Amino acid sequence: MTLRVIYFEIYARDVSRAKKFYEEVFGWKIERSEGSLEYWNITTDNSDEPGIDGGLMKRQGGEPGADTPIGTYICTIDVPNIDEYLRRIQKSGGIVTMEKKPIRGVGWYAYCLDTEKNIFGVMQPDKEAR
């Protein structure tokens, strides 16, 4: 058995705003789930490439932090051009909290906040990164 991330959830004070952000920036398909819980399914891609899908739901409690029942979990999103996606993130209301940096021989990464103050990473693979 391989122990790996198989799903993710994004928590939002304003679900509509978060839905718009992720659809605009990454082109994800986000649809309301059937059932009693207010929950939206996130489909990140329909290809055979590696990756996972997730969900979006209303945050319980206040802003992310130690006193919030469910705060945040950092997930990193693979992007083809980190500079382009950092611009998209800012244009859609997100904030770059750590500018892009290299991981030698792996690629470029940065950390950002979405419109709901959830932190996430973006990474552009690049074996020449120094």
Residue 71 confidence (pLDDT): 55
In the CATH scheme, what is the code of domain 8-125?
3.10.180.10
* C-alpha–C-alpha distance, residues 97 and 53, integer Å: 24
Angle between helices 82-91 and 15-26 (to 10 degrees): 150
How much is the pTM? 0.85
pLDDT-above-70 percentage for the chain: 87
pLDDT, mean of residues 90-114? 95
What confidence tier does 96 reach under pLDDT thresholds 50, 70, 90? very high
pLDDT at position 67 over 70: no
Choose between 31 and 1: higher pLDDT: 31
